[in-house]
Amino acid sequence: MTAGTADGDRREPDGTEQGREPDGTERGWRAAAREALYGPEGFYRRTEGPGPAGHFRTSVHASPLFARAVARLLCRVDEALGRPPVLHFVDMAAGRGELVTGVLAALPEETAARTRAYAVELADRPAGLDPRVEWRAEPPRRITGLLFANEWLDNVPLEVAETDSAGTPRRVLVRADGTERLGEPVGGEEAAWLARWWPLGGEPGLRAEIGLDRDRAWASAVAAVERGLAVAVDYGHLARARPPFGTLTGFRDGRETLPVPDGSCDITAHVAVDACAATAGGPPGARLLTQREALRALGVTGARPPLALASSDPAGYVRALAGAGEAAELTAEGGLGDFWWLVQVVGPAEGVADVFGDRPGRSTGAPGGSGSGQG
């Protein structure tokens, strides 16, 4: 629960705050987070300091094995598409371009020569980025290849709903210091989204993030692909196991913190991945895998090197051991391995469906899940 929501003393029986009306400093979380993250002084727009990587760590920062696995995926897509003369790789929400840089470095020379690489990012192009990478604020259209979005969807600003004392879902309003109060009842398409994807029971204090904008953002990114694959990787949940109090949280200086929309911290929410999948087309084109499954299918395992290597090639053994440790982190239970890979096959590209080694729509073995992407 975020700052201010537990302060029952200032609430009217319906959950609204005593004696105060909304004013210019109180907004829904969507507007507040949009400005705090992407406004002129926003968390992601600042160019000084270590950048977002100083506040949190994604799979991209955890190990170069991740970019190598994405390069392998791009090669499989390339193969399935019949090695087109121009192959697109789009690093969606590219941060400082770390993934696209790693992917280009890992591609075989012949594939790299045909690859047009894009970094799609709201922040400015970092100095020194590989000149082969085109930096832009929107994805290109008519992509033939792979659009890959690592930890983008959790950062799409969303409204938050909370049930009042009568069990009615209301929009949560927030100030720049993070204090909250309940606003008007949620209505229209937002209420319809909640009913379909995240129904809140009648108890007071239940919370949900309304994923409408995120679903649309993902559908729009998928629509930019003409032939190939769109993949979103993120922490998330399915309809049968939504977190009862929502997941909105902050990250600052490497630690989880209260989400305060003043530009000082990241503001993130776990992704209702099944809703995104359905909005972008649903099965059979959409499927869900855990990161553990996806990376194993792409050859990343946490297997330790054989002990015999320690005597025949001590340096190689140490390198292999470090690699095994990084692979273990990327695929860990209770950690990065539990992230969802939402995979959308686009266009007349039969073989693309097989790039993870089997057909879409099979049971993924994901926690309680099928591979269909439907909650």
Ligand X SMILES: C[S@@+](CC[C@H](N)C(=O)[O-])C[C@H]1O[C@@H](n2cnc3c(N)ncnc32)[C@H](O)[C@@H]1O
Residue 133 binding ligand X, by CB under 6 A:
no
**Should residue 291 be labelled a site residue for ligand X when binding is judged by CB under 6 A?**
no
User: Per-residue x/- mask for ligand X, residues 35 to 74, rule CB under 6 A?
Assistant: ---------x-------x-----x-x--------------
Sign of CA dihedral 338, 285, 93, 357: positive
16 belongs to the binding site for ligand X (CB under 6 A) = no
Q: 180 pairs with which residues across the strands?
A: 174
Helix boundaries (H) for 272-345 = 273-279, 291-297, 308-312, 314-330
Element (H, E) at 206: none
Residue 93 touching ligand X (CB under 6 A): yes
Selected from 122, 239, 324, 332, the binder of ligand X by CB under 6 A is 122
Contacts (CB under 6 A) with ligand X, residues 152-171 = 152, 155
Site string for ligand X, 216-255 (x = CB under 6 A): ----------------------------------------
Those residues with Cβ within 8 angstroms of residue 153's Cβ, 6 or more apart along the chain or in another chain: 214, 217, 218, 232, 234, 236, 271, 276
By C-beta, is 81 or 120 nearer to ligand X?
120
Q: How many residues bind ligand X (CB under 6 A)?
A: 17
Distance, CA of 87 to CA of 75 (rounded, Å): 10
The residue among 80 and 93 lying less far from ligand X, judged by its C-beta, is 93
DSSP 221-234: HHHTEEEEEEEEEE
Comparison of 95 and 371: residue with beta carbon closer to ligand X: 95
95 near ligand X, rule: CB under 6 A:
yes
- Token readout for 297 is 């299918």
Residues 315 to 354: which contact ligand X by CB under 6 A? Answer: none
Residue 247: CB minimum distance to ligand X, A: 15
Give yes or no for residue 129 binding ligand X (CB under 6 A): no
Nearer to ligand X (CB atom), residue 123 or residue 330: 123
Indicate the burial class of 186 (C-beta count within 10 angstroms; 0-12, 13-18, 19 or more): buried
The region of 9-17, 150-158, 305-313, 333-341 touching ligand X under the rule CB under 6 A is 150-158
Bridging pattern class, strands 87-92 and 27-28 = unpaired
**Type of residue numbered 120:** V
How far apart CA 115 and CA 128 sit, in angstroms, is 20
Q: By CB under 6 A, is residue 151 in contact with ligand X? A: yes
Considering only 74, 120, 248, 355, the residue that binds ligand X (CB under 6 A) is 120
Task: Considering the complex, state which of residue 152 and residue 341 has its C-beta at the smaller distance from ligand X.
Answer: 152
DSSP 21: -
Where does the chain have alpha helices with state H? 29-38, 59-62, 64-80, 98-106, 109-114, 188-197, 212-223, 273-279, 291-297, 308-312, 314-330
Residue 149 or residue 206: which is nearer to ligand X going by CB?
149
- Minimum CB distance to ligand X, residue 33 (Å): 11
**Residue 193 vs 339, nearer CB to ligand X:** 339
Query: How many angstroms separate the CA atoms of 267 and 261, rounded?
Result: 7
Helices and strands (H and E) in the chain: how many: 11, 17
Determine which residue in the list 150, 168, 247, 291 makes contact with ligand X, applying CB under 6 A. 150
Cβ proximity to ligand X: between 60 and 143 the closer is 60
Regarding 101 and contact with ligand X (CB under 6 A), the answer is no
97 binds ligand X (CB under 6 A): no
Angle 146-70-57 from CA coordinates, rounded to 5°? 115
CA atoms within 13 A on the CB side of 291: 28
The stretch near ligand X (CB under 6 A) out of 91-99, 125-133, 179-187, 195-203 is: 91-99
* Chain residues in the site for ligand X (CB under 6 A): 44, 52, 58, 60, 93-95, 98-99, 120-123, 150-152, 155
